[in-house]
Structure 1
Amino acid sequence: MRYHILTHVALAALFCVSATGAVEQKRPNVLFIAIDDLNDWISVFGGHPKAITPHMDRLAQSGAMVFQNAHCAGPVCCPSRSAMLSGFMPSRSGIYSNSQNMLDAPLVQAHATLPEYFSKHGYVSLSMGKIFHKHAAKNGLDAGQWAYDIYEPARGGGGVNQGRLTSRNKNLINGKPGPPSQHNKGGGTEFAWAPTAKGKEATKDYQTAVWAGAQLQKSYDKPFFMAIGLSKPHLPFFVPQEFFDLYDPKEDYLPPIREDDLEDILTPRGKQKFQASGDYLWLKQNHLLNEAARAYLAATSYADACLGVIFDALKTSPHYNNTIVFVWGDHGWHLGEKLRYRKGTGWSESTRIPFVVRMPGMTQRQDCTGLVNMIDFYPTLIDLCRLPAKSTLDGRSFARLLKTPNLKWDYPTVTINGEGNASVRDERWRFMRYNDGTEELYDLQSDPQEWHNLITNPPVPGRKAMVHLADLLPKTFAKAIPRSKGKYKKVRNLDTTIKATRDLDKLK
């Protein structure tokens, strides 16, 4: 069931009285801020007691809804973002990995993405930074530039202090070769951290935040949809020294970790399904588990500082009282839990996201524990902005929660982790099923860390919950669309030919 109801706090701000006394509707602006690989290690989410994130705190206290139980549709960047931006779950679109371009999915080819839908209905859309996942395209780079009226590539870097570099892939520890290891090989983004060679003003995310601030000071003849993407704390953790200095290296930053955590997750043939990851084993071998957590916290504090630049600009802009703000991470991130790092699992560390919404008229922080999913962003935003409803979307509007955060909201949330793999949870239970038949069941009430897999001997309430939750999993999974060709990191120029293929009048 989908709802199309404006919150009472928004209504007051979205109506104005003309000189003739007639009431006119004024659609709100949208400021849509993504923070890449950000988990719940933020003070307002309680994920880490030593996290220093004053600007996220300030945003929340200024009058915002803090969603304590928000989850992603897919636990890696491309499936998560593609699902949210298209409105279609990975199991429906066939987008399961970072190697697939959403534009190759027939569903996306026929439907407007979120920013396109706003442009189609009278908004000006603009963006800088990572919102869409990047891919090599036929005539250059596809960074999602085709989805906006105005797009500016993110710039900046800041360099790396090579003398302080720690890198699993290069087997370096503080700039020097580490002991021989069989655990320093592997694909994916380099697992590394170091201070940047230059200050924050030279870095990409800070310059993106400054650009966003400049756009917020401008006047527009239409309401705007502004999407800003911050790239940290995504690997590698290269951020200015001032953010490492926030965290005393002598302090303990590790989350609770159990070495036997994976032993009760067995395949139908009785074999242990998962092993400790190479990241975990290399860090453990070199006694760097705590330092890796410190580096992630430093990168999180850097991203928070960039968020503060944007929020300060919004507060002094002419748009402050008529702008909806969404701040979100695209999925969670493991830091040793389940003996692994990064993302890409169906456990809470990967599925839970930080999510804050500020509505015009809100004056104090409110917390909502109702389950929401990133797949719900699209229908919620078009609901709040009074755009035509789309019955084809997979999500549902949670606009009612913005009015009544303690509203009974009995909608379990599903995360798709590759073709045939799914994780579903309600307020108490999490059930997971893999394409090889492996299953997991956790009682989140008594076991929030998901340490005890109950699947072989579930209690009666768990057995009933499992039947209900299993019924919510996809009955079929769309065939994975082909992998995109080429390496986007080797492509510099934007493909300017894509936009011509996206006729807004024809897109649904």
Structure 2
Amino acid sequence: MIMNIKHLIIYTALVTLTSSVHAQTGADKPTKPYNILMIAVDDLNDWVGAFGGNPQAKTPNMDRLAGRSIVFRNASCAGPVCGPSRSALLSGFRPSTTGAYGNDTNMLDSKLVQTHATMPEYFSKNGYRTISCGKIFHKHETSSGFDAGHWAYDVWHDELNRGGEKEETVYSRNKAIIAGKPIENPKHKVGGGSEFSWGVTEKGKEFTQDYRTAKWFEQQLKEQHDKPFFMLAGLSKPHLSWFVPQEYYDMHPLESIKVPEFRMDDLDDIGGGKKHRTFEPHEDFLWVREYGLHERAVQAYLAACSYADECIGVMLDALKNSPYADNTVVVLWGDHGWHLGEKLRFRKATLWKEATQMPLIVHLPGMIDRKDCFRNVNLLDLYPTLIEVCGLPSKELEGKSFKPLLEDPEQPWIPTVTTAGKGNHSVMSEKWHFITYGGEVEELYDLEKDPMEWTNLASIKSSDVESIKAYLRTFLPADEVDSLPESKAKKPKKGLDDAADTTGASAKKTPDPTIKPKRNLAGLR
């Protein structure tokens, strides 16, 4: 039975009261400062064994981390593409507040972010040594140089992919290639974004970017640290393109691959009906269906996830064998989800569940068992959560610390918001998913009865439906700024592969002169 608005208001009051109590009582500061190992996995959806998104997934290392952690089964991102999701997570402010709505907007152009410390900077201000390699911030080509977010860390390192590609294994819509051979009169070739391509690397994992990143952190965990550390490891797979060594494809034999469920009429009930619908099938989806490649695309994504999982295993093993094992918080997150045929599309950048939700795992020192949390949290909440977990001074942020859920995963919580451009939002509770596009087109799904989001209830003339939508609208941003300007491109230098820290103190090469200098932490809030 649909909860009426009166009951929903009472529920909201209960959550507010519970949150207030936790805010007043606070948490004891750790007797010894915690270290943090945070692992970001680009474009990782819930195709992880521990999350059950696809039974074909083979991710033993993420699964073993989940086995002694809090596993957030309903975590969402603040924005369903890399840039806004990571900007919100690292700044602590929503896309609708900073204007960082897309990949081509740099949050440093926001006056708000210019005066506030990002997550790594705040930990540096409070006695931590921040150490990073791989993609954490979204990278931008700017008029003043290539911005990889390296200004935010005490130590920054970069690795390049040297794995190559086996030409005969290449599949690419953008290049119109199947099994290394060009397609005559190709269909569905046009399309933006990263190349929709996959295949096998020419060299083994030891030459690939993410594995080299993992091995670099393995070495960092062997070293003696005189300060608590905050290590931020960024893995690029399973982001496109899906070129990984053959061994990971072998883990997922093509003949065993099953594709996700989809319905060709799925989009007909969004907007103005079949003749005037708001969305059309995506070019990637049409391409794989046209050329019979859906199974191969799914195989490639699964292989990329298994590859990323092995890289994660390298770091988890290194931590386990280090003197820091019992005093380190481990956080693993994907920056958003990914479609592989659901809603007749591939990629991200939608407000449907497949793109807005992703894995989030948090291990605190002393945890030995798995607990699942089904409350709706957001990656935006990580910044204040880690501040509270580590006992640092509180900071003005838009995210809401979910530390209370680490103590009691079943206590009441509130819905969460994902934004895809000004005016376009998803509001998700455990049962309901409401989507609005500028207030003109709406969607509403009952996630308990319709987990694939096939039946849009938004247009049903019912007081119950109107009450649900009215309640979920209360979580929409009250104010929304315009988008930041597009970053002005300047090609990055090629010599960033082995630059070490941002100070140059231990750099193997002279850092790129276009690297932005470290910000004055004392002047940041």
TM-score, normalised via structure 2 length: 0.90
Partner of 1:480: 483
Partner of 1:382: 387
> In the alignment, does 2:87 pair up with 1:87?
no
Structure 1 distance, partners of 2:295, 2:306, is 17
Structure 1 distance, partners of 2:85, 2:491, is 19
Percent of pairs with identical residues? 51
Partner of 1:78: 83
Partner of 1:36: 42
Match among 395, 399, 407 for residue 395 of structure 1: 399
Partner of 2:13: none
User: In the alignment, is the contact (CA less than 8 A) between 2:146 and 2:514 conserved in 1?
Assistant: no
User: In the alignment, is the contact (CA less than 8 A) between 2:264 and 2:344 conserved in 1?
Assistant: yes
- Going from structure 1 to structure 2, the CA distance change for 1:343 and 1:490 (only over 3 Å counts) comes to farther
Return the offset for 1:300. 0.4
Structure 2 distance, partners of 1:270, 1:474, is 32
Return the offset for 1:491. 6.0
Moved more, 262-271 or 324-333: 262-271
What is the root-mean-square deviation of aligned Cα atoms in Å?
Answer: 2.0
Partner of 1:19: none
Partner of 2:32: 26
Could you say what secondary structure the match of 1:314 adopts? Answer: helix
Could you say what secondary structure the match of 1:69 adopts? Answer: strand
> In the alignment, does 2:370 pair up with 1:365?
yes
Q: Which amino acid aligns with 1:419?
A: K
Matches within 5 A, 1:253-292: 253-267=258-272, 271-292=276-297
User: In the alignment, is the contact (CA less than 8 A) between 2:120 and 2:152 conserved in 1?
Assistant: yes
How big is each residue's C-alpha offset from its partner over 1:116-155, in whole Å with a ceiling of 9 and x where there is no partner? Answer: 0000111010100000011113443210100000000123
Q: Which amino acid aligns with 1:507?
A: L
How big is each residue's C-alpha offset from its partner over 1:289-316, in whole Å with a ceiling of 9 and x where there is no partner? Answer: 1110111000000000100000000000
Structure 1 distance, partners of 2:522, 2:273, is 50
Could you say what secondary structure the match of 1:303 adopts? Answer: helix
Q: Which amino acid aligns with 1:122?
A: G
User: In the alignment, is the contact (CA less than 8 A) between 1:195 and 1:240 conserved in 2?
Assistant: yes
Return the offset for 1:41. 0.5
Partner of 2:175: 170
Matches within 5 A, 1:316-331: 316-331=321-336
Partner of 1:504: 521
Partner of 1:18: none
Could you say what secondary structure the match of 1:313 adopts? Answer: helix
Could you say what secondary structure the match of 1:220 adopts? Answer: coil
Partner of 1:220: 225
User: In the alignment, is the contact (CA less than 8 A) between 2:145 and 2:492 conserved in 1?
Assistant: no
Q: Which amino acid aligns with 1:253?
A: K
> In the alignment, does 2:192 pair up with 1:187?
yes
User: In the alignment, is the contact (CA less than 8 A) between 2:416 and 2:475 conserved in 1?
Assistant: no
**Which blocks of at least 5 consecutive residues in structure 1 are unaligned?**
16-24
Return the offset for 1:476. 2.6
Could you say what secondary structure the match of 1:450 adopts? Answer: coil
Moved more, 467-476 or 483-492: 483-492
Could you say what secondary structure the match of 1:194 adopts? Answer: strand
User: In the alignment, is the contact (CA less than 8 A) between 1:40 and 1:354 conserved in 2?
Assistant: yes
Return the offset for 1:418. 1.0
Return the offset for 1:463. 2.4
Partner of 2:504: none
Structure 2 distance, partners of 1:198, 1:270, is 49
Partner of 2:430: 427
Return the offset for 1:181. 2.7
Match among 128, 132, 144 for residue 149 of structure 2: 144
Could you say what secondary structure the match of 2:256 adopts? Answer: coil
Return the offset for 1:337. 0.7
User: In the alignment, is the contact (CA less than 8 A) between 1:73 and 1:83 conserved in 2?
Assistant: yes
- Going from structure 1 to structure 2, the CA distance change for 1:337 and 1:7 (only over 3 Å counts) comes to farther
Could you say what secondary structure the match of 1:301 adopts? Answer: helix
How big is each residue's C-alpha offset from its partner over 1:425-453, in whole Å with a ceiling of 9 and x where there is no partner? Answer: 11211111112611111111111111001
Q: Which amino acid aligns with 1:424?
A: V
Q: Which amino acid aligns with 2:193?
A: G
Partner of 1:96: 101
User: In the alignment, is the contact (CA less than 8 A) between 2:146 and 2:515 conserved in 1?
Assistant: no
- Going from structure 1 to structure 2, the CA distance change for 1:113 and 1:294 (only over 3 Å counts) comes to same
User: In the alignment, is the contact (CA less than 8 A) between 2:165 and 2:200 conserved in 1?
Assistant: yes
User: In the alignment, is the contact (CA less than 8 A) between 1:142 and 1:495 conserved in 2?
Assistant: no
Partner of 1:59: 65
User: In the alignment, is the contact (CA less than 8 A) between 1:30 and 1:324 conserved in 2?
Assistant: yes
User: In the alignment, is the contact (CA less than 8 A) between 1:38 and 1:300 conserved in 2?
Assistant: yes
- Going from structure 1 to structure 2, the CA distance change for 1:243 and 1:489 (only over 3 Å counts) comes to farther
Could you say what secondary structure the match of 1:353 adopts? Answer: coil
Q: Which amino acid aligns with 1:348?
A: K
Match among 434, 451, 454 for residue 451 of structure 1: 454
TM-score, normalised via structure 1 length: 0.93
User: In the alignment, is the contact (CA less than 8 A) between 1:372 and 1:413 conserved in 2?
Assistant: yes
User: In the alignment, is the contact (CA less than 8 A) between 2:146 and 2:490 conserved in 1?
Assistant: no
- Going from structure 1 to structure 2, the CA distance change for 1:7 and 1:73 (only over 3 Å counts) comes to same
- Going from structure 1 to structure 2, the CA distance change for 1:80 and 1:313 (only over 3 Å counts) comes to same
Structure 1 distance, partners of 2:194, 2:81, is 13
**Which blocks of at least 5 consecutive residues in structure 2 are unaligned?**
1-18, 497-510
Return the offset for 1:456. 1.2
Match among 195, 198, 206 for residue 203 of structure 2: 198
User: In the alignment, is the contact (CA less than 8 A) between 1:379 and 1:396 conserved in 2?
Assistant: yes
Could you say what secondary structure the match of 2:468 adopts? Answer: helix
Moved more, 32-41 or 474-483: 474-483
Q: Which amino acid aligns with 2:97?
A: R
